[in-house]
Amino acid sequence: MAETTGVLKTEKAIAFVKYSFEKALSRRLKLFRISSPIAVMENTGLNDELNGVERPVSFNTKWGNGSLAVIVHSLAKWKRLRLKEIGVKPGRGLLTDMRALRPEEDYSPIHSIYVDQWDWEKRIHPKYRTISYLRNVVHNIYGALKETEHRLCLEFPEITPLLPKSLRFIHAEELLQTYPDLTPKQRETAIAKKYGAVFINGIGAVLSSGEAHDGRAPDYDDWSTVNEEGSTGLNGDLILWSPVLNNAIEISSMGIRVDPAALQRQLHIRGCIEKSAYPFHRMLLQGKLPQSIGGGIGQSRLCMFMLRKTHIGEVQASIWPSGERERLASMGVHLL
């Protein structure tokens, strides 16, 4: 009976976190809810290629004439097209639940092949393609996180606040110079542990080490434009420190999206200029898509952090390696 009660309480807390955060985020960023697909046709160029090497789940349809449909990795590009189709005005944006399958995802306490996140996209005026505007949006997202944690702690007094008062910003090159002997993930761990919450800017561009901090597809985030501060990139990752895991958790990947010049440049950098023939890419290069900023915020990861859980399976129902449920149950960790 105790286990059942625990599961029910966890489910209630999950619902509370999701409702509270979505409400706070929508208010702060002026977003409205829309419906979204779980699959798109492969030849449209709409699916997110993540690091550019992950293969999506694909399937045939009765009417596809040989073309495959693919389960989305995220809705990074689909949302931008939807801004145009709906006719969203600058300063407003959209928010949707994204459900995806990423079968090549590495298994770990914070990784699952099932991905659930809030995908959001906001139309902006071209003059806001700046690092200062990006930081303003990140501050609003962090404010929504703080607001959610505050409400959660009032509703569930056994949970105590963890988020620091302010968020630290750092460029990937500065992070490299600070921890030159560490790997990118080790750098993230070190900086997150030091500050509690950090936004790492400029992810995707090659650093002075000759390597990028992490991979980024060339056709959504702008990671190659030199911003007004002289550094490269208008994107980044929001990372929190979890003392429960004694590790860093990436909560959000986001950025100001490529304009035609940045898309052309990044396709050349990645050696995939042939993608400019896809319908989405043609529209963007022809200036037919609105300028925007957007990203994804992990729902299960946020719940995991907020509820102080040690495994993502405690806040989402997924599939796991053989024997994993039994092994974790023996450690007192019960997966949904």
The residues that are catalytic are: 48, 102, 117, 237, 250, 253
Strands (E), 50-177: 58-60, 68-71, 93-101, 114-123, 168-171
Considering only CA atoms, which of 228, 291, 255 is closest in space to residue 91? 291
Question: Which helix (H) or strand (E) segment is 297 a member of?
Answer: strand 292-298
Gap between the Cα atoms of 303 and 315, Å rounded: 7
> For residue 133, what are the contacts with CB-CB under 8 A and spacing of at least 6?
124, 256, 293
Q: Write down the residue that tokens 């024997």 correspond to.
A: 323
> For residue 72, what are the contacts with CB-CB under 8 A and spacing of at least 6?
37, 38, 39, 40, 47, 48, 56, 78, 98, 100
Paired with 29 in beta bridges are: none
**Angle made by CA atoms 137, 140, 143, in degrees to the nearest 5:** 155
Q: Write down the residue that tokens 């809705």 correspond to.
A: 75
Q: CA separation (Å) from 139 to 168, 233, 296?
A: 10, 18, 15
